[in-house]
Structure 1
Amino acid sequence: MLLTSLLFPLLALGSALPDKPNTDVSTFTNPVLPGWHSDPSCIQKDGIFLCVTSTFISFPGLPVYASKDLVNWRLISHVWNREKQLPGISWKTVGQQQGMYAPTIRYHKGEYYVICEYLGVGDIIGVIFKTKDPWNEASWSDPVTFKPTHIDPDLFWDDDGKVYSATHGITLQELNLETGALTPELNIWNGTGGVWPEGPHIYKRDGYYYLMIAEGGTAEDHAITIARAKKITGPYEAYENNPILTNRGTDEYFQTVGHGDLFQDTKGNWWGLCLATRITQQGVSPMGREAVLFNATWNKGEWPVLQPVRGRMPGNLLPKPTRNVPGNGPFNGDPDNYDLKKTGKIPPHFVHHRVPREGTFSLSPKGMKIIPSRNNVTGVIGGNEIELSGQRGVAFIGRRQTHTLFKFSIDVDFKPKKEDQEAGITVFRTQVDHIDLGIVRNKKSELSLRFRATGPSPPA
């Protein structure tokens, strides 16, 4: 199959109507990272904010975005961008909920670190990537691996130089960043009673260690809670007014608010990004879990006060709006209009469902050539043949859906030679939840259009 052009393309996860650059600092609009950007973790270094988000089994993994104003975010690299960084790892996953997620990004003594886990079938692998130049995708290291007992590892340097990782539970261990060695785990807090206390981040401020976590599950009860202690090992005292951020029990458009990170701008103002979903009246969220911005007030010796997440937020403390951000990648949410006969490279924000087979996608003066996989995007879930299950990758490329209303089109040159060979477009959520429109060779050796819908409630 040959793709020759894309206009606001939807090849997998969607596309968007154009976003206007932010020019009004009195307010801003959430989500600031529209489209699937769950579990955001962010830092600020030299006036540039960097944020990394989860990708689960998609590839390339762990996108890194840069911004100077917290609203306009440019893709600058992917942490996991080479299959050989973790060879064969993507074959060890089955479901969409596995893979690489809940990353933490931190800066320490000239190097940027990203820590997370890769969850496979019955196994968790901790991974630590680092670079001195996050704008150079090739500079992200092969990971140091370790064996965490839980998911969602955090990364924290204490004043004495010791490095700690807090994980789901909430547990704490010392971590050797060079070898991956861990000390025995210590349970330091169980949250406030919500299910799945996870996504921990530790901050040291005014003589206290603050432990901020997510709990309540990943649906409407999701929330952010916090505790603090005089020693990193505890005992931790829970804040009496927990949760400090949630939209549970409300009819707000943004729901499932939780799993966030806090950071400061150059003027000392506190900000946070967390995940949220835009829930329709039908109770669905086609864009998935997105990243939303909120302001925080954190007075000396007190607990942080986080601004409730809404669509329109006050932005009087925002840095001056600008798109003068280093990097060559696109700004998230911008429209796409590509002539693939002329681009010379695959757009960097396009993603695959698992690591693609080598040679599946290539560009030429005729456009993007795609070598079909044996299986379609559904595959044979739970099948014994890895080629048909989708674990070895499928001939699939797409971009995140960032709006509920959008336009897209593609030009395709497809000449199938065998019955049931198919190519087309898909609105894709998981292997068992997608809507497809394909060009297929039928039993009469003719080309026809085939509409397919899978999932718990496919369209009639």
Structure 2
Amino acid sequence: MTARTYANPVLSGFHPDPSVVRVGDNYYMVNSTFQYFPAIVISHSKDLVHWRYIGHAIQSSDFLDLTGLPDSYGIWAPDISYHDGTFYICATLRLNGSGRANLMMRSERPEGPYSKPVVINEEGIDPSHFVDDDGSHYMLYGSKGTKIVKLNEDCTAAAGEPVQLWEGTGRAAPEGPHILKRDGYYYIVMAEGGTEYGHCVTAARSPNLFGSYEPCPFNPVHTQSDPKATIQRAGHGKLVETQSGEWWMVYLAGRPLEGGFCTLGRETYLDPVRWREDGWFEVNEGRGPSVIQQAPLLPEFPYAEPQADHFCPCTGSSYGIPIPGIGL
């Protein structure tokens, strides 16, 4: 296969908080959509570089009415996962004021339709889904670090009390946690530093799911340390292994213009991951975000035509999901 390169970002313009999953030789990604509807855009790729929209996780206003939410509220940081023939998408619904809820939905097809979202809990943000070796389902979420709660078998409710796994490295706003298991270790991959300049990805590991967790000795494992670089605000990453055995991270970042404003918003980027002999991983050999990068060792699969998504910014005053304790 001839070596080729790609340019970051792989999804430009308003594609924040990426989460990716591989099923066979297909890759599926979700991104935040905030107050726009339909909610949670779902994309497909065969090579991790070229992406095409295939659907939305929430398409019915009977399932979720975002009417009246101000800018940057609504759906935050969705996660997509797959287990035993079922796709799972979870996300935070951020309401006006202080209300929030972590939602879960499921489908047998990556593009949907997905089940009506159910509320798992109202604590923290940025949930993700993890299935352990024994088939037990869990939801992780950001709440002063990483917390975990066991779910019932069909992932419609919590089945236990939340447990704090790792507080992070002490940087601001620890959030967006994911967990993976590799070679006998559970790895937490988490965002820290807020979504502004100084955003980063940190990691910790433990031989036991419930800890205690050892921080990576060279945290952050991914960030932008050059204030003059083209790409800034890199963080909120998730790892994925290709069918050829390579590892990659999708993450968010921005390209600031004069004055430091990222007019196109937070976009989706891709960089390679290398596992070290000591069991820790490096992203792009510790060099931060790449502008031009060697493409994954996958057959190139470009899509023929550019695409657009016709979101509707909602206005009004009602909401569609009753959230216990929030008074909707």
TM-score, length basis structure 1:
0.64
CA distance in 2, matches of 1:179, 1:70: 31
Post-superposition shift, 1:144? 2.4
The corresponding residue for 2:157 is: 180
Letter in 1 for 2:117: P
Residue by residue over 1:358-378, the C-alpha shift from the partner in whole angstroms, topping out at 9 and shown as x without a partner, is xxxxxxxxxxxxxxxxxxxxx
Secondary structure of 2:62's counterpart equals: helix
Matched ranges for 1:25-174 at <5 A: 25-86=3-64, 89-91=65-67, 94-121=69-96, 122-135=98-111, 137=112, 139-168=113-142, 169=144, 170-174=146-150
Paired residues in the alignment total 311
Provide closer, same or farther for how the CA distance between residues 178 and 217 of structure 1 changes in structure 2, counting only shifts above 3 A: closer
Does the aligned pair in 2 maintain the 1:51–1:65 contact within 8 Å? yes
Letter in 2 for 1:131: S
Which structure's residues are more often strand, by fraction?
2
Does the aligned pair in 2 maintain the 1:206–1:300 contact within 8 Å? no
The corresponding residue for 2:259 is: 282
2:145 maps to 1:220: no
Provide closer, same or farther for how the CA distance between residues 240 and 178 of structure 1 changes in structure 2, counting only shifts above 3 A: closer
Matched ranges for 1:57-456 at <5 A: 57-86=35-64, 89-91=65-67, 94-121=69-96, 122-135=98-111, 137=112, 139-168=113-142, 169=144, 170-176=146-152, 177-299=154-276, 302-307=279-284, 308-315=288-295, 317-323=296-302, 334=306, 349-354=309-314, 390-392=315-317
Letter in 1 for 2:121: K
Does the aligned pair in 2 maintain the 1:252–1:310 contact within 8 Å? no
CA distance in 2, matches of 1:306, 1:178: 32
Residue by residue over 1:31-50, the C-alpha shift from the partner in whole angstroms, topping out at 9 and shown as x without a partner, is 10011000000011121111
Residue by residue over 1:358-404, the C-alpha shift from the partner in whole angstroms, topping out at 9 and shown as x without a partner, is xxxxxxxxxxxxxxxxxxxxxxxxxxxxxxxx3359xxxxxxxxxxx
Residue by residue over 1:9-48, the C-alpha shift from the partner in whole angstroms, topping out at 9 and shown as x without a partner, is xxxxxxxxxxxxxx98421101100110000000111211
Residue by residue over 1:176-232, the C-alpha shift from the partner in whole angstroms, topping out at 9 and shown as x without a partner, is 244312422222111111101000000001111000100011101100000001111
TM-score, length basis structure 2:
0.89
Report percent identity of matched pairs.
33
Does the aligned pair in 2 maintain the 1:229–1:235 contact within 8 Å? yes
Residue by residue over 1:111-137, the C-alpha shift from the partner in whole angstroms, topping out at 9 and shown as x without a partner, is 1110111111332222111111123x4
Secondary structure of 2:124's counterpart equals: coil
Divergent runs of 4+, >4 A? none
CA distance in 1, matches of 2:34, 2:277: 37
Letter in 2 for 1:142: K
CA distance in 2, matches of 1:196, 1:178: 27
